[in-house]
Amino acid sequence: MTDQTKTPLPTGKGIDRLLEVMRRLRAPGGCPWDREQTYKTLKPCLLEETYELLEAMEGDNLTLHREELGDVLLQVVFQCQMRAEEGHFDFNEVADVLADKLIRRHPHVFGDVQVDGTGQVLRNWEAIKQKEKDKAPDRSAIDGVPAALPALLKAQRVQAKASRVGFDWKDASGAVSKIDEELAELKAAIAEGDKAHIEEEMGDLLFAAVNTCRFLGIDAESALGATTQKFSRRFRAVEKAVRDQGREMKTCTLEELDAIWDQVKAAE
């Protein structure tokens, strides 16, 4: 019988312990799955873990929140280890670059710059960011928004970047009025019956709604998610009420279902 000596467990603390665990997993004799991963195979892992973290952030389960934060951190540590193996950079370099950037972009905290509120902080941030990247004069202020972002979030990010260079309403009334304007144009397009025009105007209406959310400090993705959850909860209650009557949804009239919906809504 062959005597196999197990690798001693890492004895460090916190991030040092985690980094050592990751090194062991990727080292010869480590985990076959971890050693086989590439940047391409890790993409869906990062995306999935990010969405799981977002879901945990919606609740008050602190244990779950802590765990999901760790899962996202794992993705960062994983890629840092892979780059370190290639001789490019390691986790500490990533952390140092981030710390330097935070210090540089917060001169009102780590320097003598005075600000009059969050708006000024964001404008300073954008100006410093532009200078850091030595951007060409013809580079747009809305460049840098990831193309793969979900549509609602992407719209909000583009609008926020435009706002930082002064392209924005003076108050919320302008954003709300834009919704009214776009809704009227959508109704006109529907009357025309041109599907391409209807789709364009629907997009304009959604964009205006997202912009109003941003202006009012509401996250459009979270707001729509909450409304979808509310609809799902009430719809399931309607289904149960119909079943309790010994009936099926498809045999009920819309008026009957709407009446049950109103009852469920009132009960909430």
Rounded to whole angstroms, what are the CA distances from 82 to 35, 44, 70, 183?
Answer: 9, 17, 18, 50
Question: Is there a contact between 179 and 209 (Cβ–Cβ < 8 Å)?
Answer: yes
Which three-class secondary structure state does DSSP give residue 216? coil
pLDDT value, residue 244 = 96
- Which CATH number belongs to the domain containing residue 201 in this structure? 1.10.287.1080
Domain count, the chain: 3
N-terminal to C-terminal alpha carbon distance within the chain: 67
Answer yes or no: is 109 within a domain.
no
pLDDT at position 1 is 41
Residue at 56 is within a domain: yes
Task: Determine the pLDDT at residue 136.
Answer: 61
Query: Does the residue 89 lie in any domain?
Result: yes
In angstroms, the CA 214 to CA 173 distance is 13
Model confidence pLDDT, tens digit, residues 198-256: 999 999 999 999 999 999 989 898 899 899 999 999 999 999 999 999 999 999 999 99
User: What phi-psi label fits residue 247: left (phi over 0), alpha (psi between -120 and 50 degrees) or beta?
Assistant: beta
pLDDT the model gives residue 103: 96
The string of DSSP letters for 119-151 reads HHHHHHHHHHHHHHTT--TT--TTTT--TTS-H
SS3 category, 7: coil
Block means of pLDDT (10 residues each) for the chain, 268 residues, are 61 91 95 96 92 91 97 98 97 97 94 89 83 71 83 91 86 94 97 96 96 92 90 96 95 95 94
Residue 240 lies in a domain: yes
156 domain residue, yes or no: yes
Q: Which residues contact 224 (CB under 8 A, 6 or more apart)?
A: 152
Could you list the residue range(s) of the whole structural domain that residue 78 is in? 14-93
Asked if residue 79 and residue 23 are part of one domain, the reply reads yes
Q: What is the largest CA-CA distance in the chain?
A: 83
Say what angle helices 118-132 and 91-104 make with each other, to 10 degrees.
120
Kindly state whether residues 212 and 249 are assigned to the same domain: no
Q: Are residues 263 and 194 in the same domain?
A: no
